[in-house]
Chain A
Amino acid sequence: MNIKMFDKWKLATGKVMCSDFGITGSGFFIGNKFFITNNHVVTRMSIDETGAIRLDYSKQIFVKTAGGTYDATLVIDENSDPPVVYDYAILKLDVTPQAYFDVADISGISQGEEVIAIGYPLDFDEPIVSSGVISAIISRPSHINTLHLIRTFLTDTLITYGNSGGPLVRAIDGTVIGITTMPHEIRDETRERLLKYINLPGMEIKPPIRDLIDFVVRYVTVGFNYAVSIKYVINDPVFKSLKGGD
């Protein structure tokens, strides 16, 4: 690993901005055709009165890269479930990237391997790099639907709000193994109680206390974070069909 590799990785990463939803996240180029991010970065979810999940895709997606800011077009089928369940989106930008990531051979990934995350967390306007190891390779329930399990890399690499959609990269060769997604939440009785308190109808909580609870629930994590396996992207029929030609 050297400085030139970092420079290349930063060129292959971008900031995703959905101006109609007011959401920002991260993303990255795979090959010179596709830009990948998390599905939850480009969608807005609601649950209707029958319990059905409704998703709206952003119609105003922009990606800021080192070369400029570009319109992005969604190329996955908006009615397809796998991108939603496995939390990925495939975009196309009208630009040839200055650099891109190759996809790792997922079967060769080992627990303990050094990995690097790149993204645009919090209010940073430039790519931020963090590093760690693969703490475990796990299956966890989908964020959207508990029926499905997602193959996920658990890592101690710093991943926080805004990192969503960025690449998790093998340090040894710079190939991408996953899409950085979210922190592993602390699930214990105290957290559950705090969440219950602020959502109780009629509960009077003074605004500073409500803000404090919100802040604690949002930002206090144990330090483990998730990256969804990149295998879901490369198995997507749209990715497969467009990869061969254009």
Chain B
Amino acid sequence: MPVFMKGNYIFVEPKQKCFEVSSNFTNYLELGIRGITKYYLEAKIENDEFKISGILLDKSGEVLCRLKDNFIDESKGCNKEMTVHGYRIKNKDGNLAFEIHVENDLICHLKGTIFGESGEIVAQEREGEFIILKGPGIIGKSGNAIGIKIS
């Protein structure tokens, strides 16, 4: 049975830096499992800075790029554009794959589509919300404590 949660603050307080995920606010997001799933995304706040790392796949399940702390570590034909409030990663056809947009230096919005290795959609921005459609994943983390675990 699906559960819908909105407007929750998971390991953050209002007016603290956070990521907006499915209309909830959190300090941490992990999609996939590092070293296990072919795709992986980790969004964290470290030393007061938003940092995104991971492996993004295209819709055929092939590696599009590897990100390390917001910088492209390895590109397989992707193109990164900086914007004043973040950046966009586009595939070789010039279509948006992933975007980061920081609002008022506080809220980091994730956009685009995260694909799994079979081309399935793992997470996607829909009508302004970044929706997680498939686990495994983690929303919110503090030390060893985990906010929400998605199986």
Spell out A's residues near B (CB within 8 Å): 47, 51-53, 81-82, 84-85, 139, 141, 144-149
- 17 A-B residue pairs with Cβ-Cβ distance under 8 Å, sorted by A, are A51-B85, A52-B82, A52-B83, A53-B81, A81-B82, A85-B82, A139-B47, A139-B48, A139-B49, A145-B82, A145-B84, A145-B86, A145-B87, A146-B84, A146-B102, A147-B108, A148-B70
Most buried by B among A141, A147, A148: A147
Most buried by A among B83, B85, B108: B83
Most buried by A among B81, B82, B88, B108: B82
A149–B49 Cα gap in the complex (Å)? Answer: 7
Chain A contact residues, majority secondary structure: mixed
B81 touches A147 (CB 8 A): no
A52 touches B100 (CB 8 A): no
Q: Closest Cβ of chain A: how far from B19's Cβ, in Å? A: 12
Q: Given the known inter-chain contacts A81-B80, A139-B48, A141-B105, please indicate yes or no for A147 contacting B85, CB distance below 8 A.
A: yes
A146 touches B105 (CB 8 A): yes
Q: Mark B116-145, 1 if CB is under 8 A from A, else 0.
A: 000000000000000000000000000000
A81 touches B84 (CB 8 A): no
A147 touches B86 (CB 8 A): yes
Closest residue of chain B to A151, judged by CB?
B47
Q: Closest Cβ of chain A: how far from B109's Cβ, in Å? A: 11
Q: Which residue of A47, A53, A81 is within 8 Å of B72 (Cβ)?
A: A81
Q: Given the known inter-chain contacts A146-B105, A147-B102, please indicate yes or no for A51 contacting B47, CB distance below 8 A.
A: no
A146 touches B85 (CB 8 A): yes
A81 touches B85 (CB 8 A): no
A82–B100 Cα gap in the complex (Å)? Answer: 17
A51–B100 Cα gap in the complex (Å)? Answer: 13
A82 touches B71 (CB 8 A): yes
A148–B84 Cα gap in the complex (Å)? Answer: 10
A106–B100 Cα gap in the complex (Å)? Answer: 31
Chain A to chain B: the 10 pairs with minimum beta-carbon distance, closest first: A52-B81, A53-B82, A149-B49, A51-B83, A147-B86, A147-B102, A145-B82, A81-B71, A146-B105, A52-B83
